[in-house]
Structure 1
Amino acid sequence: MLYPQLFADLEKARWSMADDIAWDQFDTSLLTDEQALTVKMNAITEWSALPATEMFLRDNRDDSDFSAFMSIWFYEEQKHSLVLMEYLRRFRPDMVPTEAELHAVRFEFDPAPPLETLMLHFCGEVRLTQWYRRASEWHTEPVIKQIYKTLSTDEARHGGAYLKYMKRSIERLGDEARLAFAKIGMLMASSARSGKPLHPTNLHVNKDLFPNDTVQSRLPDPDWLEHWLDTQIQFGKEWEARVVGGILRNLSSLFGMAFETVSDLNRYRKQLAVAAGQA
């Protein structure tokens, strides 16, 4: 089982919202209304770990090890939402999300293949690590800069945990797992082709609720994410390359291959598909 060691490792790295965030360093002159609103939107987005956890537990009923790990992931993701809300409660109480705004992002996700979902969320953690790192640089107020840096580090650890479950899946299922991971890796590393950044929170997950079946579509401002990325934190080509590079490096290590480009990964995916009779 992976859960016991993951619990021990993540427990050692856990930070305290009361003791490790330098609340007394807040500088009101360095927080704008625009910046505070982005904190609110990220707090609501992080709350969507709730329906994601419900999905994971439903779709992994035969995997108690991974389901147990969800207890850590869910706790830490909800803590992310909470620390962002605590920041607003202390310094911009008018911006604290309402319970209704939080509840709006709790909706049922359609069942999906567990391997593909695992890879999707691994890539989401890789992307969020970089988004929050860039957000920390963009903000000018020192406390929220520290918070985003802290969250970025957490997301990187979560990605590492997902990677361990991906490695276990390959050991158990071989090319079935490799093909699932390569397919979703291609999708998530191809944001330039799709014209938008791909992340679990902006993908459609409930056909009966379409088009209001993404987490982002249920935010107070559904267009917020693109504006935050493009105009505010300016998550440009250099930063996107870090996301793509992280996905390719990890898959290279996982598969024992060398993927320098997305095209390399696509060729490998096609080889696996042909071998599986899915070409």
Structure 2
Amino acid sequence: MLYPELFKQLESVRWDMDKDIPWDQFDASKLTDEQAQTIKMNAITEWSALPATEMFLRDNKDDSDFSAFMSIWFFEEQKHSLVLMEYLRRFRPELAPTEKELHEVRFEFEPAPALETLMLHFCGEIRLNHWYRRASEWHTEPVIKQIYLMLSQDEARHGGAYLRYMKRAINNFGNEAKAAFAKVGVLMASARRTAQALHPTNLHVNKALFPRDTIQSRLPNPEWLEHWLDTQINFDSVWESKVVERILHNMSLLMDRSFKSVQELNRFRKEIAAAIAASAAAAGAGPAPSAT
């Protein structure tokens, strides 16, 4: 089991909201209304760890190890929402999210393949780590700069934990796991070709609720994310390249094969798919026919 080791590891570096946040260094002159509004949107977005955890527990009901790890992930992700709300409560109480606004992002996600979902959230942690690092640079108020930096470090650690479960999945399921991870990896590393940000909170997850079946679509300002990325924190091609590099680096470690580009990862995906198809055909066809 990975859970006991991950619990100990993450417990040793967990920050305390009262002791480790420099609340007394707040400088009101360095917090703009525009910046405060983005903190509210991120607080609500982080609250969506609640429906994501419900999805993980439902779709991994046969995996008690991973389900137990969800207790750590859920706790720390909800604390992200809480610390952002605490910041607003102290310094901009009129912008603190209401319970109704928080509950709006709790809705049912349709069942999905567990391995693909695992990879999706692994990539999401990498992306969020970079978004929050950039947000820390963009903000001018020292307390929120520190908060975003701490959140980014948490997301990196969560990505590392997901990677451990992905390695375990390859050991247990072989090419099936490799195919799932490569498929989603190609998608999540191709954000430069899409019109929207590729992150779990911006993907459609319930056809019956379409088009309000993404986390972002249920925020008080559904257009906020793209504006935050493109205009405010300026998450440009240089930063997007950092995300792609991290995904490809981790896929290289995971598959024990070097991927320098998304195209190389996609070729690998096709190879694995062909190997799975050939194996299935051989299993169903019996002995190969004679060549004569």
Q: Which TM-score band (shorter chain)?
A: over 0.9
Matches within 5 A, 1:61-72: 61-72=61-72
- Greater Rg by CA: 2
What is aligned with 1:49? 49
Deviates more, 1:268-277 or 1:20-29: 268-277
Residue type of the partner of 1:248?
L
What is aligned with 2:135? 135
Once residues 112 and 151 of structure 1 are traced to their aligned partners in structure 2, the CA distance between those partners, rounded to angstroms, is 27
Matches within 5 A, 1:34-45: 34-45=34-45
Once residues 171 and 130 of structure 1 are traced to their aligned partners in structure 2, the CA distance between those partners, rounded to angstroms, is 29
Q: TM-score, normalised by structure 2?
A: 0.95
- The answer as to 2:185 corresponding to 1:185 is yes
- The Cα offsets for residues 78-121 of structure 1, whole Å up to 9 and x where unpaired, read as 00000000000000000000000000000000000000000000
Per-residue deviation, 1:274: 1.1
Unaligned stretches of 5+ residues in structure 2: 279-292
Matches within 5 A, 1:24-43: 24-43=24-43
- Secondary structure in 2 matching 1:277: helix
Deviation >6 Å, runs of 4+: none
- Secondary structure in 2 matching 1:5: helix
- Secondary structure in 1 matching 2:136: helix
Pairwise CA RMSD: 0.7
Once residues 236 and 106 of structure 2 are traced to their aligned partners in structure 1, the CA distance between those partners, rounded to angstroms, is 30
What is aligned with 2:175? 175
Matches within 5 A, 1:190-229: 190-229=190-229
- Secondary structure in 2 matching 1:168: helix
Q: How many residues matched?
A: 278
What is aligned with 1:273? 273
Once residues 196 and 107 of structure 1 are traced to their aligned partners in structure 2, the CA distance between those partners, rounded to angstroms, is 21
Per-residue deviation, 1:65: 0.1
Once residues 230 and 244 of structure 1 are traced to their aligned partners in structure 2, the CA distance between those partners, rounded to angstroms, is 17
What is aligned with 1:241? 241
Matches within 5 A, 1:58-137: 58-137=58-137
Per-residue deviation, 1:196: 2.1
Residue type of the partner of 1:119?
M
Percent of residue pairs bearing the same amino acid type? 73
Per-residue deviation, 1:195: 2.3
